[in-house]
Amino acid sequence: MSEIKRLQLKIRELLKKRNAILLAHNYQRPEVQDVADLCGDSLELSMKASKTDADVIIFCGVRFMAETASILCPDKKVILPVRDAGCAMADMINAKQLREKKKEFSSAVVVSYVNTTAEVKAESDLCCTSANVLKVVDSIDPSKTIFMTPDRNLARYAKEYSKRENIFWWNGYCPVHDNLTLEQVQKVKAQHPDALFIAHPECRIEVLRVADAIKSTSGMIKYAKEVDHKKFIIATEIGILHPLKKACPDKEFIPADSGMICRDMKKTGLKEIVNALERLEPEVKVPDEIRKRAISAVERMLAL
């Protein structure tokens, strides 16, 4: 038996023993995705976990995702297997900085991407995901100014594709997506002229403009399954290639840039999950005073 298989069996045994559920983001290592109960986008995973009878959530992702699970599942113990698995974009703004910015945009509706910290969500009016951002901004009174955090690329996408002029943003970004240039995309497209190009909304606006489809990670999987096409160029973190190939084994998926790797997403391995299940730590618990304010922003989004 391989070491990977042995650890996966150990994880399944411990999950049963702990009455735990294992969530894995689409960017996680293949062997982690394969042992998980659920794979998907961060908010999608937290929402599904909240409806289970599990006592413990093991979240294989980054810290803001575990915080979101804690916000939506306050009665469950949420474990992030690697304590320092963070998100560079989420860490580009904190609650104090947002409060200062709100003074500048005093009448603006603050829309925060779910890829941000719990304390920033607590200072926000609405949350959004990469899948529903256009629906969220379109739901806001056209006379209102919108201020978006933390991702400037998602905000630019929202401004261009919603045709809203009064959208402003914090100057944050995902380094993995922001590093992808139009020149690199054009190079790959020239090499594979028969491929459809799917881009994540965290990419630069000039990259999105040449995309055949703009999708969240779960949206990419759904789109690839539904369209009658055999070859795709994928512009997001390369972890997505594993679930794409599993969902569509007869189709070909080419990374827009094989260097699109989130080091934090790759910190979680099978040994770290075993340790987390044995010790039930490190736990991520959002303080109740922050949780109550943060969940309001999430619930306003879900009400749409």
Return the domain boundaries, the chain: 3-86+265-285, 90-174, 180-255
How many Å apart are CA 81 and CA 69, to the nearest integer? 14
Task: Say if 3-86+265-285 and 90-174 have the same CATH topology.
Answer: yes
How many Å apart are CA 53 and CA 260, to the nearest integer? 36
- pTM, two decimals, is 0.95
Whether residue 64 has pLDDT greater than 90: yes
CB 118 within 8 A of CB 78: no
CATH of domain 90-174: 3.40.50.10800
Instruction: Kindly indicate the confidence band of residue 302, based on its pLDDT and cuts at 50, 70 and 90.
Output: confident
pLDDT tens, residue by residue, 284-295:
999 999 999 999
- Stretch 14-22: mean pLDDT: 98
pLDDT tens, residue by residue, 131-187:
999 999 999 999 999 999 999 999 999 999 998 889 999 999 999 999 999 999 999
The per-residue pLDDT for 50 is: 87
CATH of domain 180-255: 3.40.50.10800
* DSSP code per residue over 196-259: EEEE-TTS-HHHHTT-SEE--HHHHHHHHHHSS-SEEEEES-GGGHHHHHHH-TTSEEEES-TT
The per-residue pLDDT for 303 is: 86
CATH topology assigned to domain 3-86+265-285: Rossmann fold (3.40.50)
Instruction: Kindly indicate the confidence band of residue 1, based on its pLDDT and cuts at 50, 70 and 90.
Output: confident
pLDDT tens, residue by residue, 23-58:
999 999 999 999 999 999 988 888 888 898 999 999
| Residue 166 token pair | 């009064």
Whether residue 245 has pLDDT greater than 90: yes
